[in-house]
């Protein structure tokens, strides 16, 4: 009988979660209500009050903004600006290069402050920009 290598044990990954996502839609008539914060919500589980730590805006655009194509522009701008905000927090030494990369890709000449040029080239309404910032605060709060 041959002796082979020992059989390896399967990897086991254990995880727990202290957070739960709850989808809600808050509207006034047909328009989304903007600028909501965790303090605007009350949540309970079996009558026990729960803490709402963040509010994420999935779609903060009106039907008119969707028809005009503004929501698509916001989505693209949010990806680029959100990335810039994340890099500024985690690796600020890379922020200028990130901004210049996306400005070149958008064929925007860069003279001077690349971060300011990025904000101008990829504009976002304050509600969306603030929503991204709140999400980064929540996600990076423990780092």
Instruction: Give the domain range for residue 120.
Output: 27-140
Residue 5 lies in a domain: no
Distance, CA of 132 to chain centre = 5
State pLDDT tens for residues 24-61: 778 787 777 777 788 888 888 889 998 888 776 665 56
Distance (Å) of CA 121 to CA 69, 74, 78, 103, 107: 16, 12, 12, 7, 10
- 27 vs 109, more confident: 109
Residue 22 lies in a domain: no
pLDDT at residue number 68: 80
pLDDT > 90: percent of the chain: 30
Residue 12 lies in a domain: no
What average pLDDT does the chain have?
A: 82
- E strand or H helix at 129: helix 126-140
Residue 19 lies in a domain: no
């Amino acid at each position: 009988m041959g002796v082979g290598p020992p059989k390896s044990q399967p990897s086991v990954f254990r995880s727990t979660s202290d957070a739960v996502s709850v989808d809600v839609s808050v509207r006034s008539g047909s328009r989304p209500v903007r600028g909501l914060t965790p303090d605007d919500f009350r949540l309970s589980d079996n009558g026990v009050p729960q803490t709402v730590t963040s509010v994420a805006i999935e779609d903060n655009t009106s039907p008119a903004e969707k028809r005009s194509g503004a929501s698509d522009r916001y989505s693209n701008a949010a990806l680029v600006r959100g990335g810039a905000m994340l890099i500024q927090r985690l690796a600020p030494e890379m922020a200028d290069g990130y901004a210049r990369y996306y400005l070149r890709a958008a064929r925007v000449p860069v003279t001077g402050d690349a971060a300011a040029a990025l904000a101008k080239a990829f504009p976002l309404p304050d509600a969306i920009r603030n929503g991204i910032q709140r999400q980064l605060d929540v996600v990076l709060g423990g780092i």
